[in-house]
Amino acid sequence: MSKVHNFSAGPAILPASAIQAGVEALQNFAGTGLSILEVSHRSPEYVAVMEEARSLVKELLNLNDDYEVLYLQGGASTQFLMTAYNLLEKKAAYVDTGTWSSKSIKEAKLFGEVDVIASSKDKNYSYIPKDLNVPQDADYLHITSNNTIYGTQYKDFPDVNIPLVCDMSSDIFSKSIDANKFDLIYAGAQKNLGPAGATLVIVKKEVLGKVSRSIPSMMDYNVHISKDSMFNTPPAFSVFVVMHTLRWIKDMGMTTIEARNKAKAEMLYTEIEFNDNFKPTTATEDRSHMNVTFLLNDESRNDAFLEACKEAKISGIKGHRSVGGFRASMYNAMGLDSVQALVNVMQTF
Task: Answer yes or no: are the C-beta atoms of 111 and 90 closer than 8 Å.
Answer: no
d(CA 45, CA 1): 35
**Main-chain dihedrals φ then ψ at residue 61, nearest 5 degrees:** -100, 5
Question: What tens digit of pLDDT does each residue of 108-118 get?
Answer: 999 999 999 99
Task: Answer yes or no: are the C-beta atoms of 83 and 72 closer than 8 Å.
Answer: no
3-class secondary-structure state, position 114: strand
Check residue 1 and give its pLDDT.
61
313 is catalytic: no
Which of 96, 167, 220, 286 is the catalytic position?
Answer: 167
DSSP per-residue string spanning 38-68 = TS-TTSHHHHHHHHHHHHHHHHHTT--TTEE
Name residue 147's beta-bridge partners: 152
Q: What is the pLDDT along the chain (349 residues), one digit of tens a residue?
A: 679 999 999 999 999 999 999 999 999 999 999 999 999 999 999 999 999 999 999 999 999 999 999 999 999 999 999 999 999 999 999 999 999 999 999 999 999 999 999 999 999 999 999 999 999 999 999 999 999 999 999 999 999 999 999 999 999 999 999 999 999 999 999 999 999 999 999 999 999 999 999 999 999 999 999 999 999 999 999 999 999 999 999 999 999 999 999 999 999 999 999 999 999 999 999 999 999 999 999 999 999 999 999 999 999 999 998 899 999 999 999 999 999 999 999 999 9
Nearest to 49 by CA among 24, 30, 68, 69: 30
Check residue 2 and give its pLDDT.
79
Which of 96, 100, 183, 204 is the catalytic position?
Answer: 100
User: What's domain 253-348's architecture?
Assistant: Alpha-Beta Complex (3.90)
d(CA 68, CA 229): 9
CA distances from 58 to 229, 230, 253, 294 (A): 14, 18, 14, 35
In the chain, list all ranges with CATH 3.40.640.10. 16-252
Task: Answer yes or no: are the C-beta atoms of 55 and 247 closer than 8 Å.
Answer: no
d(CA 162, CA 334): 36
Nearest to 170 by CA among 143, 146, 202: 146
Check residue 311 and give its pLDDT.
97
In the chain, list all ranges with CATH 3.90.1150.10. 253-348
**Count of CB atoms situated within 10 Å of the CB of 217:** 11
* Residue spans of alpha helices (H) in the chain: 16-27, 44-60, 75-87, 99-108, 221-226, 236-252, 254-274, 302-311, 336-348
Which of 96, 183, 191, 264 is the catalytic position?
Answer: 191
Question: What tens digit of pLDDT does each residue of 165-178 get?
Answer: 999 999 999 999 99
156 is catalytic: no
248 is catalytic: no
d(CA 164, CA 228): 24
Nearest to 90 by CA among 137, 27, 24: 137
CATH 3.10.129.10 fits 16-252, yes or no: no
